[in-house]
C-alpha cells in the first residue's frame, strides 16, 4: 500500500500512534436527554402539596356538606360551628396531597411511555389511570371523613380526632373497612383527574379556536391595564376559569352518581356490591337520589379543578420547564 493510500485511511478512520497503527476514531459524546425533567413524581409532589393545601382551605366545607346531604341529613348551616364545617379536613388534606401526587405522577409517566403522535384520547386515558391510582390513597380518607362526621354530634363544638376514628373503625369493622367503595371512588376520581390534567387544557384550546380569548383580550385592553395584568385577567381569570366551569360541570354531572354510591357504601354497615346498591337506590328513591348534594359538590369540583390544574401547570412550566403542547 502506498503512503498516499495510508494517509487517506488515516484521514477517514483515525490517526496513527507511535507504532504506526491506525487508531479508531473517538466515540461521540452521549446525546443529552431531550427531556430535562427529573422523576415525574417530583412534579406531582410539588403540585400536589400546593394544590392539596389550597383545595382543603377553599373546598372542604362544601365537600363536607355534600357528604352530609348524601347521607340524607337535613342541613341547617346555623347548626354547624366553624369547627364542624372543617370536621374531617385534616384527613382530607392528608389524602388530597398524596392522591394528587399519584394522579399527576402516573399521568406523566404513562404519557412518556406512549409515542408523541398519540391521539388525544390517549392523554385522557392516562389521566383517568392516574385517578384510579390516586383512589387507592383517597378511598380510606373518604371512609375516615364519613365516619368522623358520624361520630361528631351536630351543634356541638366537640372534636373527634383521626386516631379515635381509626380505632373505632378497627374495633367495629376491621381495617378492610377503609377500602369500602373503592370501585365507585376510582371511577369518580378517574373522571376528576381526566378533567384536571386533560380536559381543562383541551377546553382552553377549544375556546381559543372559537375566538373567545382574542375577544376577551380586546375588551380587557380597552380598560387600560398593563400587559401583565391583562395576561392574568385573560388567561387565568377569564379563559382558565371558564374552562374550569365547563369541564367541572360536565365532570360533576357524570361522576356524582358514583360519588353517591361510594358515600352510601361507606355509610352502610353491611358489605354490599355497588351495582346492587345502585339498583336499590334507584328502585326505592328514584334517580334524583343519585344527585343529592350535587350543588355543594359542583362548587367543590369546579374550584378544585381550577386550583389544582392551574397550580400543576404553573409548576410544570416555571419550575420544571415543561411546555404544554397546543393540542395536548
**134-146 pLDDT per residue, tens:** 898 888 877 777 6
- Does residue 150 surpass a pLDDT of 70? no
Instruction: Please give the backbone phi and psi of residue 126, each rounded to the nearest 5 degrees, phi first.
Output: -60, -45
**pLDDT mean over 246-269:** 88
**pLDDT mean over 64-85:** 56
2: pLDDT confidence band, cut at 50, 70 and 90?
low
CA-wise closest residue to 301 among 180, 179, 200:
200
Instruction: Please give the backbone phi and psi of residue 223, each rounded to the nearest 5 degrees, phi first.
Output: -80, -10
**pLDDT mean over 209-222:** 84
**Residue that wins the pLDDT comparison between 66 and 239:** 239
**pLDDT mean over 47-64:** 70
CA-wise closest residue to 184 among 135, 148, 133:
135
- Does residue 31 surpass a pLDDT of 80? no
Put residue 181 in one of left, alpha, beta given phi > 0 → left and psi -120 to 50 → alpha.
Answer: left
Instruction: Give the chain's domains with CATH numbers.
Output: 34-319 (1.50.40.10)
- Does residue 6 surpass a pLDDT of 90? no
Instruction: Please give the backbone phi and psi of residue 255, each rounded to the nearest 5 degrees, phi first.
Output: -95, -15
- Give every CB contact of residue 143 below 8 A, 6+ residues apart in sequence: 169, 177, 178, 179, 180, 181, 266
pLDDT at 327: 45
55: pLDDT confidence band, cut at 50, 70 and 90?
confident
pLDDT at 112: 82
- Return mean pLDDT, the chain: 75
- Does residue 71 surpass a pLDDT of 80? no
**pLDDT mean over 8-13:** 50
65: pLDDT confidence band, cut at 50, 70 and 90?
low
- Does residue 89 surpass a pLDDT of 90? no
125: pLDDT confidence band, cut at 50, 70 and 90?
very high
33: pLDDT confidence band, cut at 50, 70 and 90?
very low
**Residue that wins the pLDDT comparison between 313 and 137:** 137
**pLDDT mean over 155-171:** 68
Pairwise CA distance, residues 97 & 94, whole Å: 6
Q: Are 195 and 243 in contact (CB under 8 A)?
A: no
Pairwise CA distance, residues 179 & 189, whole Å: 14
Amino acid at each position: 500500500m502506498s503512503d498516499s493510500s495510508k494517509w487517506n485511511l488515516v484521514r477517514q478512520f483515525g490517526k496513527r500512534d507511535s507504532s504506526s497503527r491506525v487508531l479508531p476514531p473517538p466515540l461521540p459524546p452521549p446525546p443529552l436527554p431531550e427531556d430535562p425533567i427529573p422523576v415525574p413524581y417530583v412534579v406531582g409532589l410539588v403540585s400536589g402539596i400546593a394544590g392539596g393545601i389550597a383545595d382543603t382551605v377553599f373546598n372542604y366545607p362544601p365537600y363536607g356538606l355534600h357528604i352530609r346531604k348524601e347521607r340524607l341529613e337535613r342541613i341547617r348551616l346555623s347548626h354547624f360551628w366553624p369547627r364542624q364545617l372543617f370536621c374531617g379536613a385534616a384527613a382530607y388534606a392528608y389524602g388530597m396531597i398524596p392522591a394528587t401526587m399519584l394522579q399527576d405522577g402516573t399521568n406523566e409517566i404513562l404519557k412518556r411511555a406512549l409515542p408523541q403522535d398519540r391521539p388525544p384520547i390517549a392523554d385522557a386515558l392516562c389521566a383517568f389511570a392516574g385517578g384510579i391510582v390516586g383512589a387507592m390513597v383517597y378511598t380510606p380518607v373518604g371512609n375516615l371523613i364519613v365516619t368522623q362526621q358520624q361520630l361528631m354530634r351536630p351543634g356541638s363544638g366537640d372534636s373527634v380526632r383521626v386516631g379515635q376514628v381509626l380505632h373505632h373503625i378497627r374495633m367495629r369493622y376491621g381495617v378492610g373497612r377503609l377500602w369500602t367503595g373503592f370501585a365507585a371512588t376510582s371511577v369518580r376520581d378517574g373522571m376528576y383527574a381526566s378533567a384536571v390534567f386533560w380536559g381543562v387544557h383541551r377546553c382552553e384550546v377549544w375556546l381559543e379556536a372559537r375566538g373567545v380569548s382574542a375577544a376577551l383580550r380586546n375588551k380587557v385592553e380597552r380598560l387600560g391595564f398593563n400587559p401583565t395584568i391583562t395576561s392574568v385577567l385573560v388567561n387565568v381569570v377569564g379563559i382558565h376559569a371558564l374552562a374550569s366551569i365547563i369541564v367541572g360541570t360536565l365532570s360533576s354531572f357524570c361522576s356524582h352518581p358514583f360519588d353517591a354510591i361510594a358515600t352510601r357504601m361507606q355509610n352502610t354497615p353491611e358489605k354490599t356490591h355497588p351495582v346492587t346498591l345502585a339498583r336499590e337506590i334507584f328502585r326505592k328513591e328514584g334517580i334524583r337520589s343519585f344527585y343529592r348534594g350535587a350543588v355543594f359538590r359542583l362548587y367543590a369540583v369546579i374550584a378544585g379543578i381550577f386550583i389544582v390544574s392551574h397550580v400543576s401547570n404553573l409548576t410544570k412550566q416555571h419550575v420544571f420547564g415543561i411546555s404544554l403542547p397546543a393540542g395536548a
